[in-house]
Amino acid sequence: MFRSVLVANRGEIALRVIRTLREMGIRSVAVHSDADADAPHVAAADAACRIGPAPARESYLDAARVLGAARETGAEAVHPGYGFLSESAAFARACAEAGVVFIGPSPEALEATGDKAGARRTAGRVGVPVVPGRGPSADLQDLAHQARELPFPMLVKAAAGGGGKGMRRVNAAAELDEALRGAAREARAAFGGDDRLLLERYVHPARHIEVQVLGDGRGGVAALGERECSLQRRYQKIVEESPSSAIDSLLRERLLEAARRFASAVRYSGAGTVEFLVAPEGTFHFLEMNARLQVEHPVTELVTGLDLVRLQLELASGERLDLTVLEGRSRGHAIEARLYAEDPQSGFLPTCGTVGRLRWPGGPGVRVDAGIEEASVVGTDYDPLLAKILAWAPDREHARTRLVRALEETALLGFRTNQSFLLELLDSEAFRSGLTFTDTVEGAANGRGDGDPPGFVLAAAAYLLGSRRERTARDGAAMNPREDRGSPWTGLGAWRLGGG
């Protein structure tokens, strides 16, 4: 096993990986940009190294700087987390050339899964159905011509894409040119200048179902169950759960077997996710494979009891695991909600500021993976994900009510978040009944988090008041008479409870 591992990421995923490294007795090395010099993941690691200024392209996306930090700190391996360099075949090759282990799939597997058109061909070759489509091409005129062979609506997708970037829904021919230009522009910016695009038939209605897999790099693959990820906004997941309430045992096994076949075909190693669109009648189509740890991996950890980061480390270190014993372990139900720094009442624009007061929920079955703490500065240089709040219970409704309570108990003051919006989603009839599809959120007329649930307001106010009293008593200062009367509303300043 490794003695020292560099975590080539930031925020909650860096802290998540560092936690497992500490449990395994492995020295952790953090990297940071100038914007993250005082970030929690830097303080949590055993060692830290600056890799550049705030822009990601000059720090977290700079492979040479990351490998320089590995050499400087004596790290034997690099864990890329998700995003940034996690799916870069060039970075995986550079690690091998530098004598540093890349904790993830081989460069060849990254290339096979990272190119969406190539992945579609592989899926078809091994008998996994794919969505009818055309491309890829960087020639927009050629794509416009090929689009005549597909019905509307259709999806325009970045060939090297992920995370909803470079993706547009096109409902009619009049929208196509603008969608192609916009998707190509976004793809160039997000994927290192690669502006090749795909065209796919838009499957509607559909659920987004993904299968968590582990591979040994020699063709052995374990499928650890599915996650339902249909609640999305602009193709970005918001709420995920396992198991899916819409998948019966026969369909589940078909999906798991399709995921095994695809991952085995690319000789996948480590943790990855095979994603599908599932129609109401049970037909399904391959979407893509994310060759990394997913944001929503804790959902699978809660229902299986497995530590996916530990398994990644064991596989990357050369340990031979009996993957078959890891299957069939799912118990109970888990749901995850993503807490973002964004304002639902202003079109979900990113927000920023300093975390003034913060309280995370607790209690049985509740888990929080967070990347911030009190006094953390949240800017706009990186993804606005602040934390993932999860709940596990023996059944779905119990898990849902636990997660609602956990979100109501969460208190974060300093800037607006999507907290109230998440509570609306979890309390909606569509979610309660399990009738959620990929367009459920976009089609909602009122899903903007307009009201602040009383539980959240009271939790935030009580926490703020308690913190002020504790600080005043500690500092030996006289308490403000207005505060002493016990009103939770005094001293709030410009911040608005329930979102700001």
The distance from CA 299 to its chain's CA centroid, rounded to whole angstroms, is 11
- Which pLDDT belongs to residue 234? 86
CATH number of the domain within which 320 lies: 3.30.470.20
Query: What total number of domains does the chain contain?
Result: 3
For residues 270 and 103, the answer to whether their CB atoms sit within 8 Å is yes
> Closest Cα to residue 61, out of 41, 37, 81?
81
Residue 278 within any structural domain of the chain: yes
Q: How far is CA 66 from the centre of its chain?
A: 22
Question: Which residues face 339 on adjacent strands?
Answer: 387
212 and 339, same domain (yes or no): yes
Q: Given 406, 424, 443, which residue is the final one in a domain?
A: 443
> What are the tens digits of pLDDT across the range 220-258?
999 999 999 999 998 899 999 999 999 999 999 999 999
Residues 197, 54 within the same domain: no
Does residue 99 sit in the same domain as residue 138? no
Domain of residue 65, CATH code? 3.40.50.20
The answer to whether residues 158 and 248 belong to one domain is no
Q: Which of 149, 166, 201 is the last residue of a domain?
A: 201
Residues 141 and 283 in one domain: no
Helices 308-316 and 11-23: crossing angle, nearest 10°? 70
Q: Is 76 exposed, middle or buried (0-12, 13-18, 19+ CB in 10 A)?
A: middle
- Token code pair at residue 477: 């200062």
Per-residue pLDDT 10s for the chain (500 aa) are: 999 999 999 999 999 999 999 999 999 999 999 999 999 999 999 999 999 999 999 999 999 999 999 999 999 999 999 999 999 999 999 999 999 999 999 999 999 998 888 899 999 999 999 988 998 999 999 999 999 999 999 999 998 877 678 999 999 999 999 999 999 999 888 777 889 999 999 988 999 999 999 999 999 999 999 999 999 998 899 999 999 999 999 999 999 999 999 999 999 999 999 999 999 999 999 999 999 999 999 999 999 999 999 999 999 999 988 998 999 999 999 999 999 999 999 999 999 999 999 999 999 999 999 999 999 999 999 999 999 999 999 999 999 999 999 999 999 999 999 999 999 999 999 999 999 999 999 876 445 555 444 455 555 555 555 555 555 455 544 333 333 333 343 344 334 344 43
Residue 319 in domain: yes
How open is the CA angle 85-89-91, to the nearest 5 degrees?
A: 50
Residues 35, 84 within the same domain:
yes
- The whole-angstrom separation of Cα 465 and Cα 105 is 49
Residue 122 inside a domain? The answer is no
Residue 477 lies in a domain: no
Residue 64 falls within a domain, yes or no? yes
The CATH number assigned to the domain holding 137 equals 3.30.1490.20
Residues contacting 34, CB < 8 A, separation 6+: 50, 52, 53, 54, 59
SS3 299: helix
Cβ(432)–Cβ(400) under 8 Å? yes
Same domain, 174 and 262: no
Domain of residue 433, residue span: 207-443
Q: Which long-range contacts (CB under 8 A, 24 or more apart) does 463-471 make?
A: 463/357, 463/359, 463/411, 464/357, 464/411, 464/413, 464/488, 464/491, 464/492, 465/491, 467/357
- Length of the chain equals 500
Do 338 and 236 reside in the same domain of the chain? yes
Same domain, 224 and 196: no
Any alpha helices (H) in 239-387, and if so which ranges?
249-265, 297-304, 308-316
Do 488 and 462 touch, CB atoms closer than 8 A? yes
Q: Does residue 393 sit within a domain? A: yes
Q: What gap in Å lies between CA 138 and CA 338, rounded to an integer? A: 34
User: Is 490 domain-assigned?
Assistant: no
Domain stops at, among 201, 228, 255:
201
Distances (CA, A) of 354 to 36, 38, 357, 491, 495: 13, 13, 9, 17, 11
At 55, give phi and psi (nearest 5°). -55, 135
**Helix or strand (DSSP H, E) at 50:** strand 47-52
Note whether 162 and 247 are same-domain residues.
Answer: no
113 in a domain, yes or no?
A: no
State residue 490's pLDDT score.
36
Q: Strands, E, within 313-455: which ranges?
A: 333-340, 342-343, 349-350, 353-354, 357-359, 366-370, 377-378, 385-393, 411-413
430 and 414 fall within a common domain: yes
Q: Are residues 170 and 212 in the same domain?
A: no
